[in-house]
Amino acid sequence: MNVLVTGGAGYIGSHVVRLLSESGNYVISVDDLSTGIGDRLDCEAVDLTLEDPTSIKRLTDLLVEKNIEVVIHFAARKQVGESVEKPEFYFQSNIGGLANLLTAMRQAEVKKLVFSSSAAVYGMPDVEKVTELDKTEPINPYGQTKLVGEWMINNASVWGLSAVSLRYFNVAGAGWPELADKQALNLIPIILDRIERGESVLVFGDNYPTDDGSCIRDYIHVLDLARAHIDAIDQLGEPGNQVYNVGTGEGSSVFEVIAEIKKVSGIDFDVEIAGPRAGDPPKLVASNAKISKEFGWKAEFGLSEIVNSAWKAKES
Ligand code: UFG
C-alpha cells in the first residue's frame, strides 16, 4: 500500500511510520519539523506546512504522483494549556491544516483517511468508562479542534471519504527508544524529566473523588495505539466516519503511576502535593468495547510495560 503520513516525525506518527514500513508498505511523510524530530524519520519525507495555503497544490501533486491510497493525519498542535492561551493558532493549525488536507485529497481523489482525534473531545464525562456514544463537550480549544475535525471528516463523506477517527486516551511509553516522547509535557515524561534534574514530582490534587484522591487516566502504550492505526486501514472503504476510543479500559491514578516509576527506576524521589490543575476531570477511562469488537484490537501492554519502555528510552 502507498500511505501518506502527516506528522511522521512526531512521537506517535513515527511509530506508525515504522510499523507500516516494516510490513512492506511505501510510506511518505509530510512534516514541517515544527515539533517533529527529523532523526525519527526513516521514510521518504517532504517539508510542508499543512496550514499554509500553498500546501494544497503541493499535497495534491504529491498524492497523485505517489499514487497514495491512504492518508494518516497526525500533524497538529496538541498542548491543552497552549490552546487556551492561543486559540486562534490552534484553529488555524488544526482546522486550517485539515481543511487543506481534505481539499487536496478530494482533488486527488484519495478517499481513505485515518484521523488522530482525542479523548479531549469528551471534556469532563461523569462516567466510569466513556463510550463513543457519550456526549462530546470539549472544555478547551484543543479538544474543540479535534471535535470540529471529526465533523469536517463526517461532512467529507459527500465526496466519498471513508474515515476512521481514533480518540486517543493518555499515550505514553516507547516502541523503540529513539522514537520516545522527547517533550516533557505529560505525566510520565514530566516525572522522568524531574527525576533526572533531581526535582520533586508534583501531584496536581489529592482530593478528587477517587480511591487515593488523585486523578485517574487510561494510559495506553504508543505501540498498541500505533497498531490500532494499522487495523483502522483495513476498515476503510464505505463513505463515512467511524469514531473509536483507543484506550486500555484500565485506569491508573497519579499515585499509582508514581509508584510504578519508583519501582522501575529504583529511585525514591520526593513527591509534593500541589493544587489541582484547572479543567482536570477526576477520571477519564475508555470503554474500548467498540474497537475490540469491530477491529479485534486489544491492548497488549499495561502500565508496567509503558513505564519500563519510557525509562529504558530515557536511559539509552
Ligand atoms: N499530573 C500531575 N503532575 C504533573 C503532570 C500531570 O499530577 O506534573 C496529572 C494531571 O493533573 C492529570 C494526569 O497527571 O491528572 C495526566 O496529565 P497529563 O497532562 O499527562 O494528561 P491529560 O490527561 O491532562 O491530557 C492528555 C493529553 C491531552 C489529551 C488528553 C485526553 O495531554 O492531549 O490526555 O485524555 F487531550
pTM, two decimal places: 0.97
pLDDT at site 85: 95
Catalytic amino acids?
A: 142
Work out which ligand 1 atom sits closest to the CA atom of 214: 15
229/70 Cα distance (integer angstroms): 11
Q: Which of 33, 225, 239 minimizes the C-alpha distance to 155?
A: 239
Q: Which of 123, 222, 130, 117 minimizes the C-alpha distance to 163?
A: 117
pLDDT digits (tens, 9 = 90+) for 204-258: 999 999 999 999 999 999 999 999 999 999 999 999 999 999 999 999 999 999 9
Count of Cβ atoms closer than 10 Å to residue 175 Cβ: 22
Q: Which of 187, 193, 283 to mutate to test the pocket of ligand 1 (most atoms within 8 A of CB)?
A: 187
Strand stretches in the chain, DSSP E: 2-6, 26-30, 44-46, 70-73, 112-118, 162-168, 170-172, 201-204, 216-217, 219-221, 240-246, 252-253, 271-274, 283-284
Work out which ligand 1 atom sits closest to the CA atom of 146: 36
251/170 Cα distance (integer angstroms): 10
Count of Cβ atoms closer than 10 Å to residue 296 Cβ: 9
> Amino acid identity of 277?
R
Q: Which of 118, 222, 277, 303 to mutate to test the pocket of ligand 1 (most atoms within 8 A of CB)?
A: 277
- What does the mean pLDDT of the chain come to? 97
- Which residue CA neighbors atom 17 of ligand 1 most closely? 187
Intervals of the chain under pLDDT 70: none
Distance 186 CA to ligand 1 centre (A): 6
| Complete domains list, the chain, with CATH | 2-171+220-246 (3.40.50.720), 173-218+249-315 (3.90.25.10)
Distance 209 CA to ligand 1 centre (A): 17
What residues does 168 pair with on adjacent strands? 118, 246
